[in-house]
Structure 1
C-alpha cells in the first residue's frame, strides 16, 4: 500500500496543471479552486494519503475547528478545548513583559488578565504583547512528558 501511495504522489510532479485539476475533480468531487500548481499538488497529495490511511479523528478535527475559531476571533462553537497543559483553576501565572509584571488567573472556562476574561492563553499573550504568541510558550508552560515504563 505504501508503494502505491508513493507512486501516486511521485506522478503528481509530472502532471500538468490541467491534469492536476482533473485529478482534483476525481478526488474531491468538485472543480479545483484555483490554478496554483503548488496548492493543487499539496492538497491532492494530502487527499491521496487521507483516503489511504485515514484522516484526523473526530477529536482532532474538533480541536482544529476550535483553534480556527480562536484565530478568526469568531466563536462558532460553545465548547472549549480541554488542554492538558492548563494549570489548576485558581493558579496565578506571572510573567514579566517590558519591565511590567503580568498576572493571569486560571478560571474554570478561561483566563483572567486585568479584569478581562479570555478563552485562551494565546489571546492573553496577544493582548499583552500586541503580537501573536503561543500562550503556553509565552507563560512558560510545557506539555508534561510522559514517564517511560
Structure 2
C-alpha cells in the first residue's frame, strides 16, 4: 500500500490514521522491510509510519544528525558534547586521571589546558586524539 509521491503529508497522515491494524502492519513491512516489534502500541506505530512518510516526502534527517544519533544509540557520547562542569575520567597505566571541562579549556591537576589532545599527550607522552583518548569518539 504505497502512497503517490504527490500526496501531501496531511492527506498521507489522514490515510495512515484511518487504517486498521492490518494496514499498519503492511505499511510497516514496506517501509522497514520487517514486521514491527511485538509489543509496539498502535498509536506509536501510526506515529512512526507518519514520520517515515514525512521523511520520504520532505527529506529525512541530515547525515550529520543521523551519525550523532547512531553514536548515541551505540552508547557513545558524540564528539563535542562535553559541557562545562562535566568530568572526564581515564585510567592509564594504573593511574586514574580526572579532567574537568571548563568554558574555555580543560583542567587537570590544577593546570588548564586548551585541548583534550594536549592532556592526552601530557598523560601518555605520545600524540593522541584527545576525544578518542577519553572515549568521546
How many residues align? The count is 96
CA distance, structure 2, for counterparts of residue 11 and residue 55 of structure 1: 20
Unaligned runs of 5+ in 2: 85-102, 118-132
TM-score, normalization by structure 1: 0.49
The aligned counterpart of 2:79 is: 81
Partner of 2:36: 32
Q: Relative contact order: is structure 1 or structure 2 higher (C-alpha 8 Å, sep ≥ 6)?
A: 2
Residue aligning to 1:6: 10
Normalising by structure 2, report the TM-score: 0.52
- Could you say which structure has the larger radius of gyration? 2
Structure 1 stretches of 4+ moved >4 Å: 117-120
Change (3 A) 1:85 1:22: same
Residue in 2 that maps onto 1:59: 64
- Residue ranges of structure 1 left out of the alignment (5+ in a row): 93-102, 110-116, 121-149
Q: 1:23 aligns with which of 18, 23, 27?
A: 27
The answer for the alignment partner of 1:97 in structure 2 is none
RMSD across aligned positions (CA) = 3.7
